[in-house]
Chains A and B, each alone.
Chain A
């Protein structure tokens, strides 16, 4: 992914997490071959269609996901079951993807599919990701643009 698009993804992530999930975010440019979040991470994928089309993938540590979900829903983290965490994380992925795609393409209509929880370990799992340090843990993301898939 090009640098302007990486910057757009960082900006979208920071906007969504700081405004609606009340978390500080620090984007970290990772080196090639750096260790990535493993299978224990929660994963969400959002497909988007427009010009360009592609897929946004996000991985997040379970503890961070729970804390973000609690902040979003306004409840204690201990009250949350996995279904509510999944719903909040799908909403987060939807908003980040929407903000990202809107930033890179503002002149044509775009469409986002419903987020799919638990599907990000699909194709290209080892491809480079962007890493974000949150108040409660680590999140990683990657965008596969059509043609790069």
Chain B
């Protein structure tokens, strides 16, 4: 199954790294979009359908927390899984983001295998 992904991170360097990690992870990706913050991500999602969103937390304009809250209000989180990819690996933050509706959490630093594993888990790809 080829998947479509939206990477949301204010760092172009980190977006490039995640894109490269997706390539080497063995996941087949048919579309990989990028946004610099939650606001831009919402604008992209108006025009594009993706299978999964990989979102940072600390971002200007609209943080990952606000972004997930917005998706929750729009009632799309059931069909659009969000995986948080963050340097903040405190239990407090993980609990908060999962309570808001994020489906997964990957702590930076991460290996390609770890990111792939979480995407597959969230998309139920191992169940096929």
Contacts and interface: CB of A to CB of B under 8 A. Distances in A.
Chain A interface secondary structure, helix, strand, loop or mixed? helix
Interface stretch (A27-35, A88-96, A121-129): A88-96
Give the bracket for the number of chain A residues in contact with chain B: 20 to 34
Contact of B11 (A16, A90, A108): A90
Given A20-B109, A98-B88, A98-B108, A111 B58 contact: yes
A102 interface: yes
Interface in B96-128: 96, 107-111
Given A87-B12, A88-B13, A91-B14, A107 B109 contact: no
Interface in B62-93: 86-93
B89 A102 contact: yes
Interface residues of B, number: 24
A52 B87 CA distance: 17
Given A73-B13, A107-B92, 15 more contacts: A72-B17, A73-B17, A74-B17, A84-B13, A91-B11, A95-B108, A98-B87, A98-B88, A102-B107, A105-B90, A110-B90, A111-B58, A112-B88, A114-B10, A114-B58
